[in-house]
Structure 1
Amino acid sequence: MRFEQFVAGRYLKSKRKQSFISIISLISVAGVALGIATVILVVSVLNGFEHELKAKLLANEAHVFVRSINGFFADYNQIISKIKQVDGVVSASPVIYSQLALQPKGTKKILGTIYVKGIDIKQEEAVTNFSQYVDGSANLDDPEVIAEAQNKLSKNETLKGGIILGINVASQKGVFVGDVVRLISKMEPNPANPSTFFADVSNYVVVGLYRSGLHTYDNAFGFVSLTSAQDLYNRAGQANLIQVRATEPEIAESVAKRIQDQIKFPGGGLKSVPLTDTWMKQYTPLFDAMKLEKIVTMIVQALIILVAAFNIASTLIMMVMEKTRDIGVLRALGASKLQITKIFMLQGILIGILGSIFGTLLGLSLCGLLNLDNVRPSYWYSLVILLPVALQVWLVFFQPAKPNGRRHSVLEWSLRMLWFVILAFVIYCVVRPISIDSSVYQLSRLAVKIDWPFVVVINISSFIICFAATLYPAWQSSNLTPVEALRYE
């Protein structure tokens, strides 16, 4: 071990009469560690939220949406075949998209409106992961379910087919799989009694529930077959929306532009130009807000690390003041200015390295615990177990009379490790996956995604900041002359 390293290590482990310096050093390490752990945790949560939300959206949404200025496509099959020839397009599917009133069978009360998508299951599967999120049957024309539900209706009533409701739509309306619901597509005033309406009512049986994890779909959507949706509007063989899946979600804008340039509808003029939209445009405000939030958060967390760096600088300055006599002795014995500088720089670097290691381990551990779904012990159960153990360890560790020798050393280190185990168990019990309000954040729980390059960058950055914090104290220590340092000794 070199001279500078030996002295720097001894200074960090001060004697009891200088224990204040040791405490400040520990606080400096803790400051750097907490700063790094907080940055890793917060950025991982923001990354996880963005990644999970994007994955959920792209599993439920198409990449490009094509509409006609006329409202409906008279021959969507021909248009889809043309769209599939556009570079970057994987598949396309027709949809009838509408908003209808929902009424459970047997009640006269309309329970609000839902968005209804009329889809062809086979073509929908080529664009989204529809069946993956269906609890129950994904067959909207299941003959057995429809026949069983038909028996619940009077002879004058018929079923249009099956419907898949968002999981929260069903729970809020008190509807279960197998129940019959009504969709009201049109309401016209009754000329004989203006306070009443004639309603165009269609009966559907609930064949499944849609559980996407996205508030938009789970709370406001229902799915019926494309043919039954066409019957609702007397639009046989038509659709009012074509969904397109691109080879990559990120090229949606360029694919939409190609569709506008290459596809022309009959009619000429503006009517021949397709209206296109993309998932990126629809959710631009959301992702821009998340990006801005991440930038602001990283700035705030960087300030935390800067505060920890100032703490390192103040620690080293106090240590220089405390060790003035030692510096004078070392200079008198022949230590050079560079060696004195290295001693205090090494102390700051060591604090930075220890803080980085502990902070990274703590941040990654918290990220792992937030992603861990297994059942934790209850808080009270954990407290009942931990208190007696902690009390016993405290009594043994802080007993007045301590035996000397190797046996005591082993016992002391064993008890210290036991304290770390207890602390780890407490953190394990307390840190759990966090549930959030899906009506506000779309997702029902926080997801965590660790960005490993960012972890490396934040460690390197914090090390550079900590190193910079050592420069002035180290320079100050090297400028002390032996005569000045020993003048009052």
Structure 2
Amino acid sequence: MSYEFLVGLRYTRSKRRARKGNRFISFISLVSMAGIALGVAALIVVLSVMNGFQRELRTRILGVASHVQVTGFDGELANWQRIADEASKHPRVLAAAPFVQAQGMLSFDQTVRGTLVRGILPDAEDKVADFAQHMRAGRLDELQPGGFGIVLGADLARALRVTVGDKVTLIAPQGLVTPAAILPRLKQFRVTGIFEVGMYEYDSSLALVHLQDAQALYRMEDRVSGVRLKLDDLFKAPQVSRELMGYVQADTLISDWTRAHANFFRAVQIEKNVMFIILLLIVAVAAFNIVSTLVMAVQDKRADIAILRTLGASPGSIMGIFVIQGALIGVVGLAIGVIGGVALALNIDVVVPAIERTFGIQFLAKDVYYISDLPSQLLWSDVGVIATVSFVLTLVATLYPSWRASRLNPAEALRYE
């Protein structure tokens, strides 16, 4: 072990009981160490939450949306079975399901709510979406042709104050033209199920009916709005949507989830990058507190530096001593921050609910955010980047004071000793 490391370690570990100035230097070192630990821990936790938010958002959106969607240019698609068969020939397409999608209004006991009506085939829909896994009451396969059953999102059912077995009136925007006036078209549906995917946008506005019932209500005969496709790899959706042009022979519009929901994921990625930069400034401020610590340490150790120089220590060795002292402060703070941040990120699902119960607050309101729970996904690659950047900042902060120490003139330092 080199003497530079031994001296730097001794300066860092010294009890500093002799002078008040030394005790103040020790206090500044502790503050710098605590600042680095706090900044690193905050960075790890925040980036883990952003990763978890992105994962939850993608999972919940794509649990009820489609990886790839084939629709007609005029909003209607004829001969959907042939199109579904052609699309299913692509090796990455796992399943296909037709759908009818239109606007409507639901009425129950003088309460009216706007809704997005989606007509589905329950057996086929179960292969491309996860509604069956999120049923809170009833079953999806209870939607039968001609039965005029309806499955509502949990928040929509709560707003209408309906439960399974109640009958609601669905009003279609297309009216019936009569000699007297244009009358709204409406049909009574029986609530056969309630789902909750945990995403407010769908839970509060989506209603599912059987495909044939939707076709009858909206007068689409045997036409549909489009075909939803599920892929074996959702991240290949842009590539698959382009390749499907050669499989589907009809004039159709093919889109994927990255176009339909790109703004959500782009916003999360931008926020993650911005938060990384902002929180990195906290680490930078804490790291550059080391400059103050080392400047005062150099002033305090002028005589020691002079004696080392007269004993033959080179300027590089003197510089190395103080670089090691500052680096040790940074490494200890960095280690504490990484351990604390990783522990908190892995247990945030326990810590946050405890804080919410204790103070009676809610961090994520369901009617404001897309998810109501604070998720976390720790990526060790993020931890590695944070640790590396923080350590580099710490080393940079030690360079100037250490360089000043290496240029100290022994004669000037010992003149008044």
Partner in structure 2 of residue 68 of structure 1: 72
Q: Does 1:368 pair with 2:296? A: no
Partner in structure 1 of residue 163 of structure 2: 176
1:18-417 → structure 2 map (5 Å cutoff): 18-104=22-108, 107=109, 109=110, 111-141=112-142, 160-185=147-172, 186-188=174-176, 192=180, 198-265=183-250, 273-372=251-350, 376=354
| Cα deviation, residue 210, structure 1 | 1.3
Task: Please tell me the root mean square deviation across aligned C-alpha atoms, in Å.
Answer: 2.6
* Partner secondary structure for residue 242 of structure 2: helix
The 8 Å contact of residues 32 and 305 in structure 1, kept in 2 or not, is answered as yes
The Cα offsets for residues 323-359 of structure 1, whole Å up to 9 and x where unpaired, read as 1122223333444433322221111110111011011
Identity across the alignment (%)? 34
The 8 Å contact of residues 312 and 466 in structure 1, kept in 2 or not, is answered as yes
| Cα deviation, residue 239, structure 1 | 1.4
| Cα deviation, residue 29, structure 1 | 0.7
Q: Partner amino acid for 1:461?
A: V
CA distance, structure 2, for counterparts of residue 377 and residue 89 of structure 1: 44
* Rg larger for: 1
The 8 Å contact of residues 49 and 374 in structure 2, kept in 1 or not, is answered as yes
The 8 Å contact of residues 91 and 246 in structure 1, kept in 2 or not, is answered as yes
Partner of residue 482 from structure 1, selected from 399, 403, 410: 410
Residues 483 and 176 (structure 1), Cα distance of their counterparts in 2 relative to 1, 3 Å cut: same
The Cα offsets for residues 444-477 of structure 1, whole Å up to 9 and x where unpaired, read as 1221111101101211221122112212212221
Unpaired segments of 5 or more residues in structure 2? none
The Cα offsets for residues 27-54 of structure 1, whole Å up to 9 and x where unpaired, read as 1111211221121122111111111101
The 8 Å contact of residues 434 and 445 in structure 1, kept in 2 or not, is answered as no
The 8 Å contact of residues 88 and 247 in structure 1, kept in 2 or not, is answered as yes
Residues matched between the structures, number: 412
Residues 376 and 443 (structure 1), Cα distance of their counterparts in 2 relative to 1, 3 Å cut: closer
Residues 480 and 69 (structure 1), Cα distance of their counterparts in 2 relative to 1, 3 Å cut: closer
The Cα offsets for residues 139-186 of structure 1, whole Å up to 9 and x where unpaired, read as 45379xx9xxxxxxxxxxxx8432110000011111112211111124
Q: Does 1:461 pair with 2:362? A: no
CA distance, structure 2, for counterparts of residue 357 and residue 293 of structure 1: 26
Q: Does 1:446 pair with 2:374? A: yes
| Cα deviation, residue 4, structure 1 | 3.0
| Cα deviation, residue 363, structure 1 | 1.3
Q: Partner amino acid for 2:216?
A: D
* Structure with more relative contact order (C-alpha pairs < 8 Å, separation 6 or more): 2
Q: TM-score, normalised by structure 1?
A: 0.78
Partner in structure 2 of residue 155 of structure 1: none
The 8 Å contact of residues 89 and 247 in structure 2, kept in 1 or not, is answered as no
